[in-house]
Amino acid sequence: MKKKIIMLMVSAVFAVIVQSGCSCSSGSSAGSANTKGDAADSYRSKNQHGRKTMELQQKAGVTYEFSGQPDARSGWTFLPSEEGKPVYVPFEGTYESKGGRIRSPRFSLNKPSGKAAFYHLTFTARAAVQGYWWVDFYDKDGKMLPDINSELYASEKDIQQDGVFCADPRSVFAEISFVTKKGVSVRDIRLEPFTPAQAADWCDKLYAGLPQKSFQISKDAFALLPKTKAALNNGTPWRILLLGDSLVNDTWCSNFQALVMRDFPNAKPDFMVSVRGSTGAAYYCIPEHFQEYVGRFKPDLVMIGGVSNYHLARGQKAGDQVKNLVSLIRQCRAIGAEVVLMSPPLSWKWRPGKEPVAWSENVTNSKGNKVYDRSYQREAVKQTGIAYWDVTTVPCQIVADCPQPSSWFSRDEVHNNDRGKQLIGRNLAAWFRAAKENR
């Protein structure tokens, strides 16, 4: 049989030839990798064909490090683009393929079991077009958990890029990837643990370069969340669960947790994220789904959010969004949790062109949908008497007034880059700050 040769422009030299199941690199030498293991001084990782092993030496203060340019010989794998095809991403939904992917070996996050932890990712990259840096997480059994991805900035020259993220308490292992449609050169990849204080400082530096407005926070923000307010101030351990879609995952990835922990130094919040791509109350209100995504975690506070709560289940009719939300809220209360509903966060591009525009809740996206409509949410809040936090207005006003195009805040048509996430995170942290006693 004639051998098939497939050229994948997705590696650091990003020309990997796969020949009849045997891979080799073209014109690149492998770098060296370091990862910090749980107990062992070294960790052996075989490449995808098992013909070569490399030592991943333990290095103090570093979770994962690769010096040089990764290629197939260094344990990284190369996945071709499915450009033009719809691809299902578990924690985002179904969208057109984002491009080819280079992926690191799986490694241990080396963090305390059952505890969330912050990390700082740095790398040097050159990309012809905008892409994504990506981290996939796995629990102790290898089950995939909500990921983190953000914008890989396009540049004709090598530039150093970085990001900070919070790994869910269940996370034990991770893989780092770089995704692009036109190829990317990447080298010197390093992941190190960050303290909450370091993560908050990183957020401050990013936020300092963004346009800002005063967040509109009601004085009674915690009137319907008395137990959560008390826990934040007296140090009672408190599990806070974020529930929703990929925009709730963006909210999680804003690092608002670090800002809350800085504002409440004596608090013991146990933040968790539970999301499914393009999924809202219509799905989560079904009892078995509720148990899987909410009930089994025994949360003290459930924060419901995202832009998918207006979705309807098959056979439902307009107006059933309220019924779905009310059912979900009541199930949360039935397990003893306090509940806050968050308005739709910054998401779908709705601002045409580069010129600033007036913000309105009635703006439509490219599909003609009013993604920021909140009428059904307000009715559900009225029927249930729960807390309602507006995380829509000020971030959207900032984008509306900004001289930069709306794409400056986003990584694709729907989701945010680190700038957009920071607007969400600062707004959410401002709501939490309302719980401070003796303000």
Q: Tens digit of pLDDT for each residue in 144-198? A: 999 999 999 999 999 999 999 999 999 999 999 999 999 899 999 999 999 999 9
What is the 3 state secondary structure string of 58-112?
A: CCCCCCEEEECCCCHHHCCEEECCCCCCEEEECCCEEEECCCEEEECCCEECCCC
129 DSSP assignment: S
Q: How many domains does the chain have?
A: 2
Does 201 score more than 80 pLDDT?
yes
d(CA 77, CA 71): 8
Binned at pLDDT 50, 70 and 90, residue 89 comes out as confident
d(CA 54, CA 46): 7
pLDDT at 23: 31
pLDDT at 368: 83
User: Mean pLDDT over all residues of the chain?
Assistant: 88
Distance of CA 313 to the CA centre of its chain: 25
438 in any annotated domain: no
pLDDT at 366: 78
Higher pLDDT, 437 or 272: 272
Kindly state the average pLDDT of the residues 82-105. Answer: 89
How many Cβ atoms sit within 10 Å of the Cβ of residue 4? Answer: 9
Written as one letter, the residue type at 256 is F
% of residues, the chain, pLDDT over 70:
86
Binned at pLDDT 50, 70 and 90, residue 39 comes out as very low
129 in any annotated domain: yes
What is the 3 state secondary structure string of 297-363?
A: HCCCEEEECCCCCCCCCCCCCCCHHHHHHHHHHHHHHHCCCEEEEECCCCCCCCCCCCCCCCCCCCC
Does 26 score more than 60 pLDDT?
no
Rounded to 5°, the CA angle 109-113-119 comes to 35
Q: Are residues 303 and 329 in the same domain?
A: yes
d(CA 271, CA 237): 10
Kindly state the average pLDDT of the residues 353-373. Answer: 86
Residues 6+ apart with CB under 8 A from 409: 346, 399, 402, 416, 417, 419, 420, 423
Q: Tens digit of pLDDT for each residue in 293-340? A: 999 999 999 999 999 999 999 999 999 999 999 999 999 999 999 999
Q: Give the residue among 127, 132, 178 at the shortest CA–CA distance from 156.
A: 127
Distance of CA 402 to the CA centre of its chain: 24
Q: Are residues 380 and 278 in the same domain?
A: yes
% of residues, the chain, pLDDT over 90:
73
361 in any annotated domain: yes
Cβ 63 vs Cβ 35: under 8 Å: yes
In the three-class reduction of DSSP (H, G, I as helix; E, B as strand; rest coil), residue 300 is classed as coil
User: β-strands 173-180, 100-103: how paired?
Assistant: antiparallel
275 in any annotated domain: yes
356 in any annotated domain: yes
Does 45 score more than 90 pLDDT?
no
Rounded to 5°, the CA angle 387-227-259 comes to 75
> What are the DSSP E strand ranges found in 245-337?
268-275, 301-304
Q: Are residues 206 and 176 in the same domain?
A: no
Domain boundary pick from 163, 194, 225: 194
Kindly state the average pLDDT of the residues 62-79. Answer: 92
Q: Are residues 154 and 261 in the same domain?
A: no
Binned at pLDDT 50, 70 and 90, residue 71 comes out as confident
154 in any annotated domain: yes
Cβ 332 vs Cβ 301: under 8 Å: no
d(CA 167, CA 136): 10
pTM of the model: 0.88
pLDDT at 424: 98
Q: Tens digit of pLDDT for each residue in 249-274? A: 999 999 999 999 999 999 999 999 99
Supply 252's token pair: 């999680």
Question: What residues make up the domain containing 168?
Answer: 5-194
Q: Are residues 152 and 230 in the same domain?
A: no
Supply 177's token pair: 């990837």
Query: What is the CATH number for 293?
Result: 3.40.50.1110
In the chain the first and final C-alpha atoms are separated, in Å, by 76
Domain boundary pick from 134, 166, 194: 194
Q: Tens digit of pLDDT for each residue in 410-433? A: 999 999 999 999 999 999 999 999
